[in-house]
């Protein structure tokens, strides 16, 4: 009965705080983007649409603060009403009182992770499409289009493309250099287009020619063709070119990207860091809340304003450390696993000392 009672006390403040933060994020982002109306000659409806599509990614970031604020409100309310003292006098331990709050936070962290994986990537892409195609007027804009791309196909073949359009399954102005055992060029395949065939699940050369080289890299033979099937079977959506935003990809997409980069002999610190950061996010929510909740006991009858300031300080401090470690992991300065998980491990140790000191 006590657990259900405390859980009910948690959800009220939590939903209220989420609604307030959502409204503030939406209004702040919309007002800041209103300048697009004059800059790009767009409409208020499109600006509001963009802000709505972008809001969930911001909301997932502030869920830990919402959880912490709600937990602080519950504990401070129980202390001010005398319920805290009554529970302790009735034989309940602090951990037993914390348990339903922790369970609610765990549920929120799990829901946040699922939203991060299955909802935010699609919404973030729709927001970017709205911005580029409808607001800025770039009708033909596509994701992940890159120019002057180099891809290592295997140990003896390197592909060069003037432009890569993964969404269309198309590479333009491309050629493949094929090398012999002494790293001398033995053959070159040039094509105007390199197009993905969905039925055959392979890439097809279009409108090109094949050069065969002899000694001294002199051209021995040149043959033209209209179409020619290749042995390159990597689907367009798995071709990793250019920079990425973590909000566009889920963990599965990041693993596919790493697989491609590894096969191409390229670095993948950024992708591996994003994976570890995404996996650590639910634990970071729990750690942040466990770090802040004991302060409500230490401060006893503190005002709700102090609780709000405390939650914001802990939240921004934690985010600062996470951002710092993520940047270091992306650049390869530290191991991506350490970059993603070290804030959780460090603050877990702090929590252990905190709980021991407060005898919780």
Residue spans per domain, the chain: 2-135+270-357, 146-240
Q: What is the pLDDT of residues 37-70, one digit of tens each?
A: 888 988 999 999 999 999 999 899 889 889 988 8
DSSP H or E stretch at residue 197: strand 185-197
Question: What count of other Cβ atoms lies within 10 Å of the Cβ of residue 212?
Answer: 13
What is the percent of the chain where pLDDT is above 90?
41
- Find, among 72, 71, 70, 36, the residue nearest to 51 by Cα: 36
| Whole-number Å distance between alpha carbons of 99 and 174 | 60
pLDDT > 60? residue 301: no
Angle of CA points 203, 222, 191, to nearest 5°: 30
Compute the residue count for the chain: 360
pLDDT digits (tens, 9 = 90+) for 192-225: 999 999 988 899 999 999 999 877 667 888 899 9
Write the pLDDT tens digit of every residue in 286-299.
Answer: 988 888 888 777 66
pLDDT at 25 over 70: yes
Q: What is the pTM of this model?
A: 0.82
The pLDDT value given to residue 172: 92
Q: Give the three-state DSSP class for 228.
A: strand
pLDDT in tens, 257-274: 888 888 777 788 889 999
């Amino acid at each position: 009965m006590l657990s259900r009672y405390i859980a009910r006390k948690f959800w009220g403040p939590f939903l209220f705080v989420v609604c307030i933060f959502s409204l503030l994020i939406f209004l702040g982002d919309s007002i800041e983007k209103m300048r697009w109306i004059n800059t790009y000659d767009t409409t208020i409806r499109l600006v509001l649409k963009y802000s709505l599509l972008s809001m969930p990614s911001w909301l997932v970031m502030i869920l830990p603060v919402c959880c912490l604020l709600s937990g602080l409100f519950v504990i401070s309310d129980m202390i001010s009403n005398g319920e805290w003292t009554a529970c302790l006098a009735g034989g309940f331990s602090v951990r037993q009182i914390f348990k339903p709050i922790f369970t609610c936070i765990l549920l929120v962290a799990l829901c946040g992770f699922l939203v991060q994986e299955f909802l935010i990537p699609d919404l973030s892409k729709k927001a970017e499409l709205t911005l580029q195609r409808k607001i800025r007027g770039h009708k033909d804009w596509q994701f992940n289009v890159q120019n002057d791309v180099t891809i290592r196909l295997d140990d003896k073949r390197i592909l060069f493309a003037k432009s890569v359009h993964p969404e269309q399954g198309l590479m333009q102005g491309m050629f493949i250099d094929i090398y012999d055992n002494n790293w001398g060029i033995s053959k070159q395949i040039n094509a105007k287009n390199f197009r993905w065939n969905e039925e055959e699940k392979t890439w097809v050369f279009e409108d090109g020619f094949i050069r065969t080289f002899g000694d001294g890299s002199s051209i021995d033979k040149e043959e033209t063709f209209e179409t020619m099937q290749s042995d390159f079977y990597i689907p367009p959506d798995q071709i990793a070119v250019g920079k990425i935003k973590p909000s566009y990809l889920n963990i599965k997409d990041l693993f596919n990207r790493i697989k491609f980069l590894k096969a191409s002999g390229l670095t993948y610190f950024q992708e591996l860091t994003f994976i570890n950061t995404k996996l650590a996010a639910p634990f970071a929510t729990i750690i942040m809340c466990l770090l802040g909740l004991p302060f409500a006991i230490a401060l006893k009858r503190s005002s709700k304003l102090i609780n709000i300031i405390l939650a914001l300080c802990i939240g921004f401090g934690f985010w600062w450390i996470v951002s710092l470690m993520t940047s270091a992991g992306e650049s390869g300065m530290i191991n991506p696993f350490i970059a993603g998980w070290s804030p959780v491990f460090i603050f877990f140790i702090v929590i252990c000392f905190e709980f021991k000191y407060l005898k919780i």
